[in-house]
Amino acid sequence: MIGDQQLIRLQEEIRKFLAEWVGEKKSENYWREPLVAVASAIDPLFIELRRVVDPEHAMPEDLLPGAQSVVVFFLPFQQRLGEENDLFGFHAARSWAEAYVATNRLIQTINTHLNKRLEEAGYRSTITPATHNFDEEKLVSLWSHKHLAYIAGLGTFGHHHQLITASGCCGRLGSIVTNMPLSPTPRPAAQWCLEKAGRECYACVPKCPCGALSEGEFDRRKCYAQCLINDGYYGDLPLVDVCGKCACEVPCSYCIPTPAAIR
Ligand code: SF4
Ligand code: SF4
């Protein structure tokens, strides 16, 4: 098993790559410091995904025969994006939609870069798509980054069904599968969502513009319909089926929430 040193190196690679990307002005700078974590490819929770997400959810071994590790990274958005999205009203803010497009492109490029670095070190890896590995009938992802990130210890699920990381939930996730044996990152020992931890919060519920999120059941179909409304609204951009209002300007937007953050 290759230990923490290798994870630190991967983290450094991503950080350096992001700084160069922004320095070379390949897009606006939408991001804060990336977070990186690792899951063992044989973590028993992967099999659970076939029960909790979809019977056809991919296993690391399906993507890369001989897979040993799944590296998951989170690119947290700058706070101004959350503020702008929150203020914009019914539709997602243009900056939120543009950040989505730019981040998907960045994730693909980071993955290609990591793939090259791992190859140079004598290992194989598989580039996984940043998004659009989505079953539009069942409304589930067959390589669910949020669930991978949970397994890798990047955070815990919030009431709003987003993953709350140490840098909050505003941002995007990417992953690669590799045959490099890396030490898995420990998962958080407690729920980071205040409501799930037994503290009153539900600050995310009134943020939802279409009633998909309530104190009860989450309505996946209503949520996806709202994302498609935003895609139609920004017809000049590539696919932007996003919303994210429930992640913006709530106690868990940019950090692990504390009860003091409840407004
Ligand atoms: S806003 Fe509150 S209830 Fe909603 S996910 Fe964040 S911490 Fe949990
Ligand atoms: S992403 Fe938007 S539509 Fe979906 S639950 Fe959150 S606020 Fe509601």
Determine the 3-state secondary structure of 152 from DSSP: coil
CB atoms within 10 A of CB 180: 21
167, 32 Cβ separation under 8 angstroms: yes
CA of 161 relative to ligand 2 center, distance in Å: 9
Closest approach atom of ligand 1 to CA 158 = 5
* CA geometry: angle 115, 22, 89, nearest 5 deg: 105
Per-residue pLDDT tens for 132-154? 566 676 777 888 999 999 999 99
Tell me if 213 CB under 6 Å of ligand 2.
yes
Ligand 2, atom 7, residue with closest C-alpha = 208
Tell me if 251 CB under 6 Å of ligand 1.
yes
Cβ-proximal residues to 26 (8 Å cutoff; 6+ apart), any chain: 106
Ranges 6-20, 35-49, 170-184: which has the least confidence: 6-20
Ligand 1, atom 5, residue with closest C-alpha = 158
pLDDT for 73 equals 96
Q: Which of 169, 223, 253 to mutate to test the pocket of ligand 2 (most atoms within 8 A of CB)?
A: 223
CB atoms within 10 A of CB 62: 14
210, 226 Cβ separation under 8 angstroms: yes
pLDDT for 25 equals 85
Q: How far apart are CA 140 and CA 138, in angstroms?
A: 6
pLDDT surpasses 70 at 77: yes
11, 5 Cβ separation under 8 angstroms: no
CA of 132 relative to ligand 2 center, distance in Å: 18
Is the dihedral angle over the CA atoms 56, 34, 242, 260 positive or is it negative? positive
- pTM for this model (two decimals): 0.94
pLDDT for 1 equals 44
Q: How confident is the model at residue 131 (pLDDT cuts 50, 70, 90)?
A: low
Q: Which of 163, 214, 246, 253 to mutate to test the pocket of ligand 2 (most atoms within 8 A of CB)?
A: 246
Tell me if 210 CB under 6 Å of ligand 2.
yes
CA of 222 relative to ligand 2 center, distance in Å: 8
Region 250-257: mean pLDDT is 98
